[in-house]
Amino acid sequence: MANQLQPVRGTRDLTGEDATRHFHVVETARRVARLYGFSEWQTPIFEDTRVFSRTLGETSDVVTKEMYTFEDRGGDSITLRPEGTAGVCRALITGGLTQTLPQKVFYAGPMFRYERPQKGRYRQFHQIGVELLGPASPLADAEVISAGWRILNELGIAQDVELHINTLGDAQSRANYRDALVAYFSAHTAQLSEDSKLRLEKNPLRILDSKDEGDKALVENAPLIYAHLTEEAAAFYEGLKSTLSAFGVPFVEDPRIVRGLDYYNHTAFEFVTNALGAQGTVMAGGRYDGLVEQMGGPNVPGIGWGAGIERLSMLIAAPPVGVQPVAVIPMSAAFEGQALELLNLLRNSNIAAETGYSGNAKKRLERANKSGAGFAVLVGAEIKLKNLADGSQEDVTADMLVKRLSA
Ligand code: ATP
Ligand code: MG
């Protein structure tokens, strides 16, 4: 069928087990987020392009190569969101919510990036994420990271991931560090990739994040930020580490984590795994104290993370298939009406129930067995409740039926 319509490259359908895994991740994260005091928000999946171009940084991969940007029929430049933080901050400002801090936000939904599709990398992918807006203390950072860690635990994949943390310092630390990096990389420009030559001028820190093999070799010996931290920034980082330990969250320090986006300061972190080949980062985030102000709002510090649901879905064990609906089966056409009444009664009593749409009683019972239903209700001159696991059955009244199946 040559002319059969196909999904757009880099997109995928969520059906069957893919859907079960996906929603298990979302529901688990939503439950844990609530436990940590986060409330769920939903912002539009498209925004004024400037929401992203002004915040993600002109030199970021996302802005230069990956955004889905188009002009709509009214001539406005629109972008499908590539990440969640900018939209949440935009909503915080437009909603006047900067007056009621802290705001603890959880979100889940699709993101869009024009990338080369491969395992664990799609053009429409999905993220869960949290943002904690308001507090500027490392307690907030530790809490946000701890919530992420708890989610990975509840998903049963904590043993497959490792938390890597780093600090990017404050503005002064970064300026100091930037000078040191410029001095180092300027002495090796010949070995730098074309992209990184540009980064050297615009944002040398970015080179540390490069995926180019030549760049990576140079980065091996690049100076580290620790020697360039101000006293205050060093104290913040110490506070983060001690609070993480108090929360019982294991971590390793990794000076190479700089985050791909421009607005981060102080804390940067990633949960990484070896179980997914090249696509090793499952959850990534950091502190972004300048972002809300940069977007035209007041000075509101923030910390958050985003995690790819597709990558989490690949790591988890298949979630258990839930109990299937009770099968309500008329023994002959004469009992169809009574069967529908019982079907209705069960559903109104909060008991999941189905009835075959066609076929005789034998066929329907076969289908019920196959579906994995625990019980069938056989509706004839008597009503019988049949346990499909052991084959036993008993005569019941409608009232008894509801009681038995509610138990
Ligand atoms: P990568 O280095 O893998 O490109 P990134 O730095 O672009 O990641 P972030 O912008 O930090 O990723 O996004 C957070 C998380 O979202 C990632 O750790 C990953 O799990 C997921 N993610 C990012 N891009 C994609 C994609 N194209 N397809 C699927 N998941 C993605
Ligand atoms: Mg990327």
Per-residue model confidence (pLDDT) at position 282? 94
CATH architecture, domain defined by 326-406: 3-Layer(aba) Sandwich (3.40)
Kindly report the protein residue whose alpha carbon is nearest to atom 6 of ligand 1: 260
Place of tokens 């971590």: 251
- How high is the pLDDT of residue 255? 87
Kindly state the average pLDDT of the residues 204-214: 87
Pick the CATH number of 16-170+230-315 from 3.40.50.10470, 3.50.50.60, 1.10.760.10, 3.30.930.10: 3.30.930.10
Residue 228 in 3-state DSSP? helix
pLDDT single digits (tens) 106-127: 999 999 999 999 988 999 999 9
Query: How far is CA 100 from its chain centroid?
Result: 26
pLDDT at residue 56 greater than cutoff 80: no
- As a whole number, mean pLDDT of residues 138-158 equals 97
Render pLDDT for 346-379 as a digit per residue (tens, 0 to 9).
Answer: 999 999 999 988 899 999 999 999 988 999 999 9
Q: What is the pLDDT of residue 59?
A: 64
**Centroid of ligand 1 to alpha carbon of 134 (angstroms):** 25
**Average pLDDT score over residue span 61-90:** 93
Pick from 129-133, 161-165, 318-322: least confident: 318-322
Task: Over range 307-327, report the average pLDDT.
Answer: 92
Which residue type sits at 295?
Answer: M
Other Cβ atoms less than 10 A from the Cβ of 265: the count is: 22
- Residue 390 CA to ligand 1 center (angstroms) comes to 48
Q: Which ligand is nearest to the CA of 306?
A: 1
Test site for ligand 1: of 279, 283, 288, 316, most ligand atoms within 8 A of the Cβ: 279
Q: Is the pLDDT of residue 171 over 90?
A: no
61 CA: nearest ligand 1 atom: 7
Q: Please name the residue ranges forming H helices in 169-298.
A: 171-186, 194-202, 213-220, 231-246, 291-294
Q: Between 121 and 209, where is the model more confident?
A: 121
The pLDDT assigned to 60 comes to 72
Is the pLDDT confidence value at 19 over 70? yes
Q: pLDDT tens-digit profile of 260-278? A: 566 789 999 999 998 877 7
Is residue 219 pLDDT above 80, yes or no? Answer: yes
Every domain of the chain and the residues it spans: 16-170+230-315, 326-406
Cβ(306)–Cβ(128) below 8 Å:
yes
Return the pLDDT at 55: 80
pLDDT band at 1 (very low <50, low <70, confident <90, very high): low
